[in-house]
Amino acid sequence: MSDHNKLLVRRYFTEVLNKGKYELIKELFSPSFIFSGPSLAKPVPGMPDGLYDFVANIRHAFPDLYVSVENEIAEENQVVVIWRMTGTQEHPFRGVPPAHTLGSITGMDIFTIENGRIEGMWAFFDMRSVLEQMTVRTRKPSRTAGTTKRRTPAASKKRTSKH
């Protein structure tokens, strides 16, 4: 059963996320599927619309999206996957304009399988890192960039010495 569960989860990564085969969402996921975890602002319930929208939004923003499964462990009805996602942001994502540069994050998902379908997914990834990679690359240089004075050790001592 563990091998079957790993194959089911792997299909989500390889076929739905990487290839955009949205029609498989109904086949792989239970109608009562819930997507949750500390990396999300709130759980994403509702099948197929909630997960479909999530996948469509991320694939639109990152058209060259690729997720590699780095490690997977299955026991009973759960599968744990450590993954690496790479992609170039070509369209706005979560209100952030496109960065047009390649970014990468690593995360971990814990899937619960019931009756041969994915019932739940608990996701952990560093959303701050995602947003920082996007905003750092799109941030305009400040007018004072490159004009800051370098402090000498003597100047630093003057500022911190007590009189």
Q: Provide the CATH number for the domain around residue 102.
A: 3.10.450.50
Best CA proximity match to 17, nearest among 29, 33, 5: 29
Q: How far is CA 148 from the centre of its chain?
A: 35
Domain limits for position 79: 2-160
pTM: 0.76
Q: Distance from first CA to last CA of the chain, Å, rounded?
A: 73
pLDDT in tens, 110-163: 999 999 999 999 988 877 776 676 665 544 544 444 444 444 445 445 544 454
Q: Which two tokens stand for residue 133?
A: 């990679």
Cβ–Cβ < 8 Å for 28, 5: no
Strand locations in 20-116 (E): 29-36, 44-45, 66-75, 78-88, 102-114
pLDDT in tens, 72-100: 999 999 999 999 999 999 999 878 888 88
> Partners of 114 in the beta sheet?
117
Higher pLDDT, 126 or 64: 64
The whole-angstrom separation of Cα 127 and Cα 40 is 8
- Cβ atoms within 10 Å, residue 121: 21
Give the number of domains in the chain: 1
